[in-house]
Amino acid sequence: MNNKTVLLALSGGVDSAVSALLLKKQGYQVIGLFMQTFRDEINSKNPCKSKSSMTDEKMAELIAKKFKIKFISKDYKKNYYNQVIKPMISDYRKGLTPNPDIVCNKLIKFPYLLREAEKLEADHIATGHYAQIKKTGQGYQLLAGKDKTKDQSYFLYELDQKTLAKTLFPVGNLTKEQVRKIAEKHNFPNWNKPGTKGICFLGKTQGIKPFLETKIKPMKGKILSPEGKLLGTHQGISYYTIGQRIEEHLGLSINKPKEFAQKRYYIAEKRKNNVIIAAPENHPSLLKKRAIIKSLHLINPNMIIPYSGLKARIRHLGQFHEGKLTKQNNKYIFTFKKSIEALAEGQSIVLYNKNQVIGGGEIRL
């Protein structure tokens, strides 16, 4: 009989609910922790609610009661705002394209789970992430989830050996369809609840631009062609990202040259003087061959890095790009086998060796 205790991040979603069931079946003593991270003043409509009137916290508490496990709710809203949202706004103000979900895992979710687990004398922490952990003679490996359409390993590249040693991902070896079937079979009230898409506090329909407009004042700037010709105007580089399509309803207005009148235009570059470079589809300026990796984090620093034969992702569930990692003048550089589009500073590049996450960092060009 397993007599170990697990502190589970119980979010109110189906993934963490099924995680609770699986852990109980494995004999663990489970404690459910609901982490309050979203400030009501950011969006009074509370988009983190499900389609029903029940909040995620109430759903999490309901799941805990179903399994007769201890339930705790902790307020981390101030920490989340100061450590995730404020730096995110600052990065956008600088023209970067940050990923707050990665920062949240690094600074909020896993550190505070570990802290609470220590207080409660729990042996492990657990989350409903679609990822896997493998213990080897050289340390712990972070692997992609079995369900390639739901794999969340991209968001977890900042985890370290100490954290992986304490962490369990109960649904990492399952597909989302299997998880829902398990939940339906056991009459979970949230078995068909839609998963959260994007950043929760923005809601399911609101984009990042309307949110940033409440935090960053617009600053009219020029849109130039790669050759330097004036095409139009924009509302401020903070509101846009590399690879984004030029569309008037987004405050991006251009007059296309006759020869490119039928072509779609995309943002190829954002310059510090509040200038956007826009180019027609398939233009060479939209392509990049390499990325400088700022503050490369390795999941296992003692592991020998296979500098060649790696694959990289530049967004969650994005395409894998083959390439080679090199170190030049104390900078790590990933050179892509084929030039790629939509490479934006501030995004995270995550390196994989087959299905193992090696590490990653922020993109600089």
Residue 139, Cα to own-chain centre: how many angstroms?
25
- 200, 267, 286, 342: the active-site residue: 200
- Residue 141, exposed/middle/buried by CB under 10 A (0-12, 13-18, 19+)? buried
Report DSSP state, residue 245: B
d(CA 28, CA 26): 6
At 8 the three-state DSSP class reads strand
Check if 104 is active-site: yes
Check if 200 is active-site: yes
Structure tokens at 307: 């500098």
- 104, 122, 286, 298: the active-site residue: 104
- Residue 55, exposed/middle/buried by CB under 10 A (0-12, 13-18, 19+)? middle
Residue from 123, 167, 110 nearest 27 by CA: 123
Residue 132, Cα to own-chain centre: how many angstroms?
16
Would you say 98 and 87 are in contact if contact means Cβ atoms under 8 Å apart? yes
d(CA 295, CA 108): 19
Q: What is the arrangement of strands in the sheet containing 253-254, beginning at the earlier edge strand?
A: 253-254, 230-234, 221-224, 275-280, 265-271
Residues with active-site annotation: 104, 200
